[in-house]
A and B are shown apart, each in its own frame.
Chain A
Amino acid sequence: MDPGEPLLSVVNIVKRFGGVTAVNRVSFDVRAGEVFCLVGPNGAGKTTTLRIIAGLIEPDEGYVVFEGRRQPWGPDVRRLIAYIPEDAGVYRNLTGFEYLEIMARLYLGERWEDAVRRAAEISGLGVRLRDKIGGYSRGMKRRLLLAGALMINPRLLVLDEPTAGLDVTHATAMRRMILDYVRGSGAAAVVSSHNMLEVSYMCDRVSLINRGVIVESGHPRELLERYRVENLEEVFVRVTGGGL
């Protein structure tokens, strides 16, 4: 892959469900070391776009290229992508350690032990990792899932609403984990969010999506300047005319 080429390219993807077009000609590039955010209200097409990027569903039109390879990807490429859905659940009867071990063995084979140690440290869950995940709070579950995703050293992180429903402490910890990883590893992250504060805090570039269509893109600060407003929410209202 050329060093100047984007790590991920989403090209004109379209996804329809029955008569409804959930994603309509969405295109964007993401470069290594970058956190790219898809911002929009509920039902805007964020989850469908991320599922297409993760390779879980196929677009009706368009395509996705990752590290110069076009979908569909085999296990060798999927191994480089970590996806955490918004409503991702956990195996309630496994302990945190058991979950990390299973994931590490599946992704890394023989080199699993170091990864689990690293994930245990990243998660910050300490001795609670010995408990069954069923007894964890929502924030703990999300931290475990993220630690499990990061321990495999993915080249691309696909995170759907990573901090939705979390309190300030857990949300801050999650954002720090994501940023530290992307900056430190040179990987990229595609993050969906409807939390404009979160977007300002962690996104290098942002695309606003509404009714399946990308309506505006740019650096958060650049967008604020372009529309001469105080925050991204106002940008969104200006771009969409306030309607959903």
Chain B
Amino acid sequence: MRRLYVLAVKEVKELIRDRYVLFSVILAPLLVLPLLLGVSYLAVREAGGALEKAIRELPGNVAVVLEDPGDEMALEVARRLGARVEASVEEAIARYPAVVVLHSNFTKNILEGKPATVTITSRVERPYSLVEVAVVTFLAQGLRDVVSIVLMERFNVDPRLIRTPVIVESKVLYKGELLEGSRLAQLYILNMGLAFIIFILGVIALQVGTLSMGIERESRTLELLLMLPISRVELIAGKVLGVSTISLMGFASFLVGLSITILLAPVLFAEGFEGIQQPQTTMQWSPIGLIEAFRTTSVTSVVAVVASIAVAMISTTIVGILVGVLLAGDIRGALVSGSYVALILAIPLMVEMMGLSLPTPLQIAFITSPMYPPFKTAQMIVFGETGLATAYAIATLINVTMLLAITVLMVKSERLIYGIRLRKPRVET
């Protein structure tokens, strides 16, 4: 029993004093989930509040245009919506965030079993925001519900007997241009895709960067590398270039895997999960949809997206190398610590992928994440918010410069050879 105790004490002492164990077994698991939960909670709370407010204010903020001003059911729908009746869409959309056009023969079509048609034109400022997209979707659904209620109460018709009482066509007024509703979904997906690409590529780049340092340490090749007749900047640049190549290969491999999954999933689950049909949504996305969304954006946006992906990958690689210098004594340490740091730094991207935004204090806190400011810069350029795009571009520039400066300072022979120690340095003579 005594020997068992001594063995256990040896094990605990040896493990707990290891920097890698301290970070990856104790500190990181303690941080990752609460941090993800905390950030998501704050983002969802903010979005929830905004959505609730928008929906609450919706009745007074909707105008209705009646193609047939005498149509009885259309008038009733307008009344129930709490909307003001206006003469034309062009005039109304300047004053209201949404205008509902109830087309002619509204009552006649429904009562004859043919669907009545409605066009909702919504003014959208930020198509990447879940709140705005949700309001558009909510309005369409709300309108269908109102029609059903009117059918039941005023005409004594069970709406379930009519297959499609109303066809709702959504249009979006975005930056003075009238777009089809599907374009809104496409823009939303574009944002999600951009966040997703930077998230995946960032996680891969950070891990490969950390791993490359872990391999150098474990193989004991650092001194050979440091003796090369090249400057420290060249050394880092060479490493970043090599690591980025591997990261891009990793990302391409991930994309191929994802595409196979997306192509195969509908075939394998053609009949749904055990016969349960999945609901159809307009927000489903695919690589082809994403390419299509990118294709339809401006050249500036495409350049911004490509540049932001490149900057995010390079900065994340540099962070990976730094994490490697700090935490990776060997390959296993590099892999685990790299994964945890990548997860922590990618939290804002996970939030953005859901169409949510970080509250301002958190945006400032995560400005040091190598993935977040490049993403925000591209996002703001794609969605035409020039002022914010400039601010995020400056933040990205400061970030990259700081990172490079820190790395050049950290990649000093002495630190690399002896490591950065939490305790008193070990004497190695």
- A positions within 8 Å CB-CB of B: 17-18, 20, 22-23, 43-48, 51, 54-58, 74-76, 78-79, 81-83, 85, 87-92, 106-107, 145, 212
Instruction: Evaluate whether A75 and B429 lie within 8 angstroms (CB atoms) in the complex, with A58-B414, A88-B224, A89-B221 already known.
Output: no
Instruction: Evaluate whether A18 and B424 lie within 8 angstroms (CB atoms) in the complex, with A58-B414, A88-B220, A90-B219 already known.
Output: yes
Residue pair B429, A85 in contact (C-beta under 8 Å): no
The answer for the CA separation of A107 and B228 in the assembled complex, in Å, is: 7
| Distance of A96 from chain B, by nearest CB (Å) | 14
Residue pair A57, B414 in contact (C-beta under 8 Å): yes
6 tightest A-B CB contacts, nearest first? A89-B220, A79-B229, A75-B229, A89-B219, A22-B429, A56-B413
The answer for the CA separation of A55 and B427 in the assembled complex, in Å, is: 18
| Distance of A163 from chain B, by nearest CB (Å) | 17
Residue pair B223, A56 in contact (C-beta under 8 Å): yes
Residue pair A81, B227 in contact (C-beta under 8 Å): yes
Residue of B nearest to A40 (CB): B429
- In the complex, 27 of the A-B residue pairs with CB atoms within 8 angstroms, ordered by the A residue number, are A17-B425, A17-B426, A18-B425, A20-B427, A48-B428, A48-B429, A56-B223, A56-B226, A56-B414, A58-B414, A74-B231, A75-B231, A76-B229, A78-B227, A79-B229, A81-B227, A83-B227, A85-B223, A87-B220, A88-B220, A89-B219, A89-B221, A90-B219, A91-B219, A92-B219, A107-B228, A107-B229
The answer for the CA separation of A75 and B48 in the assembled complex, in Å, is: 59
The size class of the interface chain B forms with chain A is 20 to 34
Instruction: Evaluate whether A88 and B221 lie within 8 angstroms (CB atoms) in the complex, with A47-B429, A76-B229 already known.
Output: yes
Q: Restricting to B363-416, which residues have a CB under 8 Å from any CB of A? A: 413-414
- Chain B residues whose C-beta falls within 8 Å of the C-beta of A85 in the assembled complex: 220, 223-224
- The reply to whether the CB of B255 lies closer than 8 angstroms to some CB of chain A is no
| Distance of A67 from chain B, by nearest CB (Å) | 15
Residue pair A106, B417 in contact (C-beta under 8 Å): no
- The reply to whether the CB of B267 lies closer than 8 angstroms to some CB of chain A is no
Residue of B nearest to A108 (CB): B229
What's the dominant secondary structure at chain B's contact region? loop
Residue pair A45, B429 in contact (C-beta under 8 Å): yes
- The reply to whether the CB of B422 lies closer than 8 angstroms to some CB of chain A is no
Q: Which of A57, A82, A90, A212 contacts B417 (CB 8 A)?
A: A57
Q: Restricting to B217-251, which residues have a CB under 8 Å from any CB of A? A: 218-221, 223-224, 226-231
- B positions within 8 Å CB-CB of A: 218-221, 223-224, 226-231, 413-414, 417, 424-429
- Chain A residues whose C-beta falls within 8 Å of the C-beta of B220 in the assembled complex: 85, 87-89
Besides A56-B226, A57-B414, A106-B228, 12 other A-B contacts (C-beta < 8 A): A17-B427, A17-B428, A18-B424, A18-B427, A43-B427, A74-B231, A75-B229, A75-B231, A78-B229, A88-B224, A89-B224, A90-B219
Residue pair B229, A212 in contact (C-beta under 8 Å): no
- Chain B residues whose C-beta falls within 8 Å of the C-beta of A145 in the assembled complex: 224
| Distance of A93 from chain B, by nearest CB (Å) | 9
The answer for the CA separation of A107 and B424 in the assembled complex, in Å, is: 37
The answer for the CA separation of A75 and B185 in the assembled complex, in Å, is: 55
- Chain B residues whose C-beta falls within 8 Å of the C-beta of A87 in the assembled complex: 220
The answer for the CA separation of A91 and B218 in the assembled complex, in Å, is: 10
The answer for the CA separation of A91 and B242 in the assembled complex, in Å, is: 15
The answer for the CA separation of A23 and B428 in the assembled complex, in Å, is: 11
The answer for the CA separation of A106 and B234 in the assembled complex, in Å, is: 11
The answer for the CA separation of A123 and B220 in the assembled complex, in Å, is: 21
Residue of A nearest to B222 (CB): A89
The answer for the CA separation of A85 and B418 in the assembled complex, in Å, is: 14
- Chain A residues whose C-beta falls within 8 Å of the C-beta of B413 in the assembled complex: 55-57
Residue of B nearest to A89 (CB): B220
- Chain A residues whose C-beta falls within 8 Å of the C-beta of B226 in the assembled complex: 56
| Distance of A141 from chain B, by nearest CB (Å) | 11
Residue pair B417, A56 in contact (C-beta under 8 Å): yes
The answer for the CA separation of A107 and B231 in the assembled complex, in Å, is: 13
The answer for the CA separation of A44 and B424 in the assembled complex, in Å, is: 20
